Amino acid sequence: MVMVLAGDIGATKTNLGLFSSSAKGLQRLSFCSFPSCAEAELVGRVKEFLAQKRARQNLAGVCFGVAGLVQNGYVEATNLGLKLGESELQKELGCVSLVLVNDLFATAAAIPLLSENELAVLQPGNIAQEVNATIAVLAPGTGLGMAFLVDAKKPLIFASEGGHADFAPRNELEVELWRYLKFRYGRVSRERLLSGPGLLNIYDWLGERAETGSSVKALPPLLSGAEKTAAAVVAAAENGERPATQALAIFVTLLGSVAGDLTLTGMAAGGLYLAGGIPTKIIDHLRSAQFISAFCDKGRMASWLKRIPVKVVLDPEAALLGAARIAFSSLGGEDVERKKSSLGRG
């Protein structure tokens, strides 16, 4: 039995899976997860996983989706400091083929394989679907990833560094937020707001506004110190804490606006898909009018955006599935064309 190893190497955790392929599609044989780590420990963990599953002799292809910029067979994980090279890893693991891709590239490859119950619909859309309609993928998590998928049956995938593009405030409140982050970081990218750390940035800003007596009412936050995490802010919002509720509302609105921008940039008539670690945790907030209103609030293009399907990827291991698909493709299976010059993620 021919097997491939797929990996999803994020800034906080790494998922590994062994897959086989049959007439029924990709079949996952085994799985493990561990905190993301440096190169030597990662290679050791991969070898240990393969040894436990007695898979080395049948291992044909490997694909790792990594949260970082991939160029010429090398990747450095932006929020992790991990550096990997295809040729070095291929020698270490002794496989026929080894491919490194951006993690959003891997997620995009998985989109056509997901069933309807693995997706949550935020806006059904009613646009007439073209054969090669572009799909946009937006993934807020530890960072902010983006990708485009063209033609789901024989996909051409482009990743993007759009998460590092400038944040553009749309009103006076967002100008005030921009100024706060400009002073704090020197430059304000979209990722400074639309990520786990970004949600904390918004929460901190609301706290400072309360302390300085801003003319816009804001209550002081209750979270502090080690307990102040993005997950804690979401939980506090669920419990009705006003600053957390405000922070999450701003986050959701900004996410909707950037999602609309991404959809316009790629003319993504095939739909906008939200992936990453955050959307599934705040899905009730995404179902509110704030997200779709900001998504569609694009002036003369508003009527077109109202017709675009918007969905949330519910499968937390979609990137792993996509990496497996790419691994089989590299062996001459289902073709997933890979444009190395356009792989990226921060």
**Tens place of pLDDT for every residue, the chain, 346 residues?**
789 999 999 888 999 999 998 777 788 999 999 998 888 889 999 999 999 988 777 888 999 999 888 999 999 886 677 889 999 999 999 888 999 999 999 999 999 999 999 999 999 999 877 778 999 999 999 999 999 999 766 768 998 889 999 999 999 999 999 999 999 999 999 999 999 999 999 999 998 887 665 544 444 556 766 678 999 999 999 999 999 999 999 999 999 999 999 999 999 999 999 999 999 999 999 999 999 999 999 999 999 999 999 999 999 999 999 999 999 988 876 555 444 333 333 3
Q: What is the pLDDT of residue 333?
A: 61
Q: What is the pLDDT of residue 221?
A: 57
Residue 317 CB neighbour total at 10 angstroms: 17
Closest CA to 343 of 160, 200, 177, 217: 160
Q: Classify domain 3-109+317-342 at the CATH superfamily level.
A: ATPase, nucleotide binding domain (3.30.420.40)
The CATH T-level fold of domain 115-314 is Hexokinase; domain 1 (3.40.367)
Task: Report d(CA 155, CA 153) in Å as an integer.
Answer: 6
Task: Report d(CA 279, CA 191) in Å as an integer.
Answer: 15
68 token code pair: 């970082």
- Provide CB contacts within 8 A for 22, sequence distance 6+: none
> Which stretches within the chain are classed as H helix?
39-52, 86-93, 103-110, 172-185, 196-211, 230-238, 242-265, 283-286, 289-296, 302-305, 318-330
- Provide CB contacts within 8 A for 130, sequence distance 6+: 269, 270
Counting runs of H as helices and runs of E as strands, what totals does the chain give? 11, 15
Q: What is the pLDDT of residue 105?
A: 95
pTM above 0.85?
yes
Q: What is the pLDDT of residue 6?
A: 97
What are the strands of the beta sheet with 156-160, ordered from one edge? 119-123, 310-313, 271-274, 134-140, 144-150, 156-160, 337-338
Domain ranges of the chain: 3-109+317-342, 115-314
